[in-house]
Amino acid sequence: MSFAVIPSWPNNFQIGQEDKQLNALIQQVQSQTEPFLVLPTYLPKWQSMRRQLGLVDVPYWSAFDALQKVSVKEKRPLQLEDLTWPKDAQFVRMFDRIIVLSGTTIYGTVFFTYPKADQIDRIDLLKKGKLSQQLTVDDRGFISRVLNYKDGQLTKASYLSQSGAVVAEQDCLTGQVQAILPDGRKVSYSQMIDLVQELTVAYLKAHHQGEALVANSELNYRIAQQVSFNRLFLWAGQEDAADLQDSWRSVSTDVQILQSQVSSVSGDDADSGVLIAPYPVHPKELVQRKNQTVLYIKVGDLDSSKQATLMDQAVKLFNQDENRTVIFEGATVPATFPARLEQALSEQLVDLHLDEQLLTEAKAHFVFLGEQSVKSRLQYLATSSLYVDLSKQPDLEVLATTVALGLPTFTAVKTAYSLLDGFDSVEPEELSDKVTNLLTAEGWQQAQEQLIQQQAGLAIAALNQQWQERLKK
């Protein structure tokens, strides 16, 4: 009997943090059993996505492939010449799109996938300058969905078969769906989720799937209710699993909730679920304590007020020791944090009467970075003495790296990568005091020693062993 995995991946081709975490879990599961992906969501770029995630060798079944009678499995990107255009069409190429002109008016726009722009994502067709239709392109080489608009409002969504016939049509104003099922029956549904649910449940029942790893979502919950799995592993990820207990534990006699973080350390964490690390820790050269202390802070989703508090605390840390440099990383950091630094310096150093040169030297101890690539961030972390992630959902892949480096870390929530002897939580207003305490020679050394102990339990062999024990129970 194969082990079903039911993800909740989005259809926009953007692979996010949750997608990568579930993919990492699938790789752990593969060491013990043969996972089989069941895809209930509309994924027109699935062939590209599975390559990007490294899941090419994992077999799958798709509800929309069944509905749309798709047989081709290979990626075959659609080309402009495969489509019919006006005889006088002119194509104006830009990096991520092509503007199609007919005469002197814009006929449509061809958009390419982000970030490589190596295949067509969708095509917008215009009438009298307004969006009339949007064609969704499947990466196997056909138009799979047509969205119709009237006066800027989405009115109808038509799902097409591989050969171009309409197999399902949704009234987007009422939500009602008319569909031709794979067995030829014409059936009406009150909403699209009902159609997808029926197709997926029928498949799972027909193939006697007894065990499954299921990502939390409304659709997956409805599917699990009807399938009655013998054993179910619920992947809550970085959500608050405490809210999921009652509902999900009613769908199977054996449900284990897996989560990668908990929002609080109060109470019994075991009541919420099992804390599990999606990413294994691969050994790296340990960071060394340095006289020039570099603090690397990922700003995350802090609001404006918290960001101002964070900067005040960072300047306070610098005032305590001029051998400290603070690096901030975040999408908006380069644009907004220089002004915050100016404000904090003017408030905290006003009594010191710094001249322009000393002020410039002080500013040089604060570095502002946009979102970094994995390689670039690793270079910064290898020279740091402390890493801080203030996100509500910290990047666990980075935390796995900090454990491998033996780099002491603070986060806003407890994760599977937090220190063994407790949870090194921090709020922006606490940063100066907590960092000061940790950066003592004894405090820093103790934290690194705990991280080194932690590495063995988070190695790939240990994580695989944990799955072996789970699946045998």
pLDDT tens-place string over residues 302-339: 999 999 999 999 999 998 998 999 999 999 999 999 99
Which of 202, 398, 406, 188 shows the shortest CA–CA distance to 286? 406
d(CA 396, CA 386): 16
d(CA 111, CA 407): 43
pTM score = 0.88
The reported pLDDT for the residue numbered 315 is: 93
* Block residue for tokens 């905290």: 348
Residue 269 predicted with pLDDT over 50:
no
* Block residue for tokens 């690397």: 296
Residue 266 predicted with pLDDT over 70:
no
Element spanning 131, H or E: strand 130-138
In the predicted model, what is the mean pLDDT of residues 434-451?
87
d(CA 250, CA 235): 16
Residue 349 predicted with pLDDT over 70:
no
Instruction: Give the highest mean pLDDT range of 341-350, 363-372, 420-429.
Output: 363-372
Handedness of CA 49, 51, 55, 60 (dihedral sign): positive
Residue 60 predicted with pLDDT over 70:
yes
Which of 107, 104, 48, 66 shows the shortest CA–CA distance to 83? 107
Whether 376 contacts 283, CB under 8 Å: no
Instruction: Give the highest mean pLDDT range of 30-34, 36-40, 319-323.
Output: 36-40
* Block residue for tokens 């590209």: 48
Residue 226 predicted with pLDDT over 50:
yes
The region that residue 69 occupies, defined by phi over 0 for left and psi between -120 and 50 for alpha, beta otherwise, is left
pLDDT over 90 percentage in the chain: 70
The whole-chain average pLDDT of the chain stands at 90
The model's pLDDT over 373-432, given as tens digits with 9 standing for 90+, comes to 989 999 999 999 999 999 999 999 999 999 999 999 999 888 999 875 556 678 899 899
Whether 329 contacts 371, CB under 8 Å: yes
Choice among 71-85, 194-208, 423-437, 452-466 with the minimum mean pLDDT: 423-437
pLDDT over 70 percentage in the chain: 95
Higher local confidence (pLDDT), 339 or 18: 339
CA distances from 233 to 25, 214, 225 (A): 11, 6, 14
Residue 272 pLDDT grade (very low, low, confident, very high; cuts 50, 70, 90): low
The reported pLDDT for the residue numbered 422 is: 58
CA distances from 111 to 80, 94, 154, 320 (A): 11, 10, 19, 52
Which of 10, 21, 87, 27 shows the shortest CA–CA distance to 397? 21
Residue 267 predicted with pLDDT over 50:
no
The reported pLDDT for the residue numbered 270 is: 45
The model's pLDDT over 88-113, given as tens digits with 9 standing for 90+, comes to 999 999 888 999 999 989 999 999 98
d(CA 313, CA 290): 21
